[in-house]
Structure 1
Amino acid sequence: MSRLPPLRLLIAFDAVHRLGSMRLASAELNVTRPAVSQSIRALEDWLGAPLFDRSVKPARPTDAGERLARATQSGLGQIASAIEDIRASAGHADRHITVSCTIGMATYWLMPRLSAFYARVPDAMVSVQAPPSDMPAFSAGIDVALRFGPGPWQESDTVRVFEECACPVGQPERIKALNGDLAALSTQPLIHVRTPAANGWPGWKEYLAAKGLRNPIGPTLTFDNYVQATQAALDGKGILLGWRSINAGILSEGRLAAIEQGIHKFGSSYWASAIATPNPRPLVREFLDWIRDAGSDFDRSGGMMS
């Protein structure tokens, strides 16, 4: 922290730069104008560089002043936002939950549906965390984990969300050219997702084996998560082993197409599990009830990859 000047000096500088006047800054900060001026001088001495060009009236920020202003606006803004979040959470802790799931599930399935949960429970607040390992698990602060597998897990309360299934997907023109021939996948550029073996997600190797297809001889592309891989498929880079949870919405929009004859169920589903606690919070139960209903609606929606 010794590398930083006193926070009061940065606050005074931010006010002067933002308002364009020491008089207005002194009024906002509820201090005298000389006190503001002294703070600016002290900050300049600490930096060893002038922050305002006082040879013109009104004084204008120097290049150094503009650089510092961008940094202080961003930094003070983040601090203010964090304080607001902390105060809101402290005052409404019983109406806030944190959900852990994969980045693909969060981006393409959960987040687009959360407005429906807020419509059902207007005073709720939901934070969604996608762990870097893309393997949702319970840790400090996590109330609900959405996980893929044969399930169910043994936490205190687990509900099945929907059955998952996989299918080759790609740009409509590319899929149309295959004419439903799964054997032709062997010569196509296949898009892979690098996933830890422990997370249970089958890939192209498992899919091709399940369908009795030979190993591919075409080029391959590998990405770290399904968001990147889906974008590559949208860009026409190849064919992705798509999943309902990630690609159903994009398929219904017609931006991707599926080889419908290639739909395969690995016998796994998405499950929502609540961490075991002596006194379960009502909001957690409300979220589990909602996501179970949302998953049932998803299962009933029909269409591709259903």
Structure 2
Amino acid sequence: MKRLPPLRLLNVFETVQRAGSAKQAAAELNVSQSAISQALRQLEEHIGTTLFDRSTRPARLTEAGDILLKAVVENRERLSEAIGDIHALASHAGASVTVACTIGFATYWLMPRLEAFYLDHPDIVVNVQTTQLEAPRMAPGTDIAIRFGGGKWSDGETQHLFDELIEPVCSPNLSERLAGESKDLATVPLIHVDFPDPNWMTWSDYFAHTGQKPAKSAKGLRFSNYVQAAQAALSGRGIMLGWRSTNGDHVKRGLLVPFGLPVMHPNSRFYISLSHRSRNPDTAQVVIDWLRKTAEAEIS
């Protein structure tokens, strides 16, 4: 069996893809951009094939790179879950609650609101556990799961959090450049997110749901997670399907604007579940009640 690459090289590789560029990854890892480039080439030499198509700007993952990225992300999440499970079995602080949700939901909805939560409840610590699944599983040690789906799960007490709205959005600069042009999506760059979850809404789902003309010939960008896609949209690189849960704050702040096409109301909704195995159900319920109250106030 071929020896695995050093973990530091895999970490650099995943960080570049998540951050959206070598420059942003260098800033996040506090190293030089040349160090990032060198690490990526070392990884390619170790594996024995190219991971990036450098003939494009920005460079895109090759098929081999895409396979490796999915493996790195999946195994990182499994390792994170395993460590969380071990910690949960070892000890569980009475004022600590673990919430599981997707990376995009944690980044753009949950985390920005936790600061206000801590002002109201300074004695409660909320640990955020991220996953690629729209309906995270209730692992040992997970108290709360925020899920997108049909609402029927048997591993906890589930309550409605909020309905989702999805519509095409883009940066104000891109909107200005496209002002006066046709809203035909076949003529503008689309941003796609390749997400291995049946509850995920794609451009194909949007076209089918709203009756819009499929953009078969459209130029587009593809990303493996929603955070990367959102960064591309914020940078004016294309139009993405904006979810209220993750892009709502961007729209409120004027960082993204609706493209002027129909809003999609998916059948699935966001729910919040309290695990039957929670060791701190009373504390977890305080968190749930606060998040539901916050979501209701924002939508009303």
Band the TM-score falls in, shorter-chain normalisation: 0.5 to 0.7
Preserved CA contact (<8 Å) 2:143 2:278? no
What corresponds to 2:297 in structure 1?
A: 297
- Judged with a 3 Å threshold, the aligned counterparts in structure 2 of structure 1 residues 124 and 259 are, in CA distance, closer, same or farther, namely same
Identical-residue share of aligned pairs (%): 39
- Judged with a 3 Å threshold, the aligned counterparts in structure 2 of structure 1 residues 253 and 128 are, in CA distance, closer, same or farther, namely same
What corresponds to 2:207 in structure 1?
A: 208
In the alignment, the residues of structure 2 paired with residue 173 and residue 104 of structure 1 have an alpha-carbon distance, to the nearest angstrom, of 23
Q: Give how far 1:186 is off.
A: 1.7
- Judged with a 3 Å threshold, the aligned counterparts in structure 2 of structure 1 residues 150 and 178 are, in CA distance, closer, same or farther, namely farther
Preserved CA contact (<8 Å) 1:162 1:298? no
In the alignment, the residues of structure 2 paired with residue 173 and residue 127 of structure 1 have an alpha-carbon distance, to the nearest angstrom, of 37
- Judged with a 3 Å threshold, the aligned counterparts in structure 2 of structure 1 residues 215 and 150 are, in CA distance, closer, same or farther, namely same
Aligned positions of 1:140-179 closer than 5 A: 140-178=140-178
Q: Which TM-score applies when normalising by structure 1?
A: 0.63
Unaligned runs of 5+ in 1: 1-85, 301-306
In the alignment, the residues of structure 2 paired with residue 181 and residue 116 of structure 1 have an alpha-carbon distance, to the nearest angstrom, of 42
Preserved CA contact (<8 Å) 2:165 2:263? yes
Of 230-239 and 209-218, more deviation after overlay is shown by: 209-218
SS at match of 1:123: coil
Of 214-223 and 180-189, more deviation after overlay is shown by: 180-189
- Judged with a 3 Å threshold, the aligned counterparts in structure 2 of structure 1 residues 160 and 135 are, in CA distance, closer, same or farther, namely closer
Greater C-alpha Rg? 1
Preserved CA contact (<8 Å) 2:94 2:280? no
What corresponds to 1:219 in structure 2?
A: 219
Q: Give how far 1:190 is off.
A: 0.5
What corresponds to 1:268 in structure 2?
A: 268
Q: Give how far 1:174 is off.
A: 2.4
What corresponds to 1:75 in structure 2?
A: none
- Judged with a 3 Å threshold, the aligned counterparts in structure 2 of structure 1 residues 140 and 182 are, in CA distance, closer, same or farther, namely farther
Of 153-162 and 117-126, more deviation after overlay is shown by: 153-162
Q: Which digits, 9 at most, give the CA deviation of each residue in 1:96-150, with x for residues without a partner?
A: 0111100110001000101222222221011001125565221121111111123
- Judged with a 3 Å threshold, the aligned counterparts in structure 2 of structure 1 residues 232 and 278 are, in CA distance, closer, same or farther, namely closer
In the alignment, the residues of structure 1 paired with residue 105 and residue 171 of structure 2 have an alpha-carbon distance, to the nearest angstrom, of 21
SS at match of 2:184: helix
Letter paired with 1:220 = G
Letter paired with 1:210 = H
In the alignment, the residues of structure 1 paired with residue 269 and residue 205 of structure 2 have an alpha-carbon distance, to the nearest angstrom, of 17
- Judged with a 3 Å threshold, the aligned counterparts in structure 2 of structure 1 residues 219 and 109 are, in CA distance, closer, same or farther, namely same
What corresponds to 1:283 in structure 2?
A: 283
- Judged with a 3 Å threshold, the aligned counterparts in structure 2 of structure 1 residues 274 and 110 are, in CA distance, closer, same or farther, namely same
In the alignment, the residues of structure 1 paired with residue 201 and residue 180 of structure 2 have an alpha-carbon distance, to the nearest angstrom, of 22
Q: Give how far 1:262 is off.
A: 2.1
Preserved CA contact (<8 Å) 1:100 1:145? yes
Aligned positions of 1:6-155 closer than 5 A: 93-132=93-132, 136-155=136-155
Q: Which TM-score applies when normalising by structure 2?
A: 0.65
In the alignment, the residues of structure 1 paired with residue 212 and residue 113 of structure 2 have an alpha-carbon distance, to the nearest angstrom, of 36
Preserved CA contact (<8 Å) 2:134 2:147? no
In the alignment, the residues of structure 2 paired with residue 153 and residue 172 of structure 1 have an alpha-carbon distance, to the nearest angstrom, of 40
In the alignment, the residues of structure 1 paired with residue 153 and residue 180 of structure 2 have an alpha-carbon distance, to the nearest angstrom, of 37
SS at match of 1:262: coil
Preserved CA contact (<8 Å) 2:193 2:222? yes
Of 219-228 and 208-217, more deviation after overlay is shown by: 208-217
In the alignment, the residues of structure 2 paired with residue 212 and residue 180 of structure 1 have an alpha-carbon distance, to the nearest angstrom, of 22
Q: How many residues align?
A: 212
SS at match of 1:222: strand
- Judged with a 3 Å threshold, the aligned counterparts in structure 2 of structure 1 residues 154 and 271 are, in CA distance, closer, same or farther, namely same
- Judged with a 3 Å threshold, the aligned counterparts in structure 2 of structure 1 residues 141 and 180 are, in CA distance, closer, same or farther, namely farther
Q: Give how far 1:152 is off.
A: 4.4
Preserved CA contact (<8 Å) 2:190 2:238? yes
- Judged with a 3 Å threshold, the aligned counterparts in structure 2 of structure 1 residues 134 and 223 are, in CA distance, closer, same or farther, namely farther
Q: Give how far 1:176 is off.
A: 4.3
In the alignment, the residues of structure 1 paired with residue 209 and residue 132 of structure 2 have an alpha-carbon distance, to the nearest angstrom, of 29
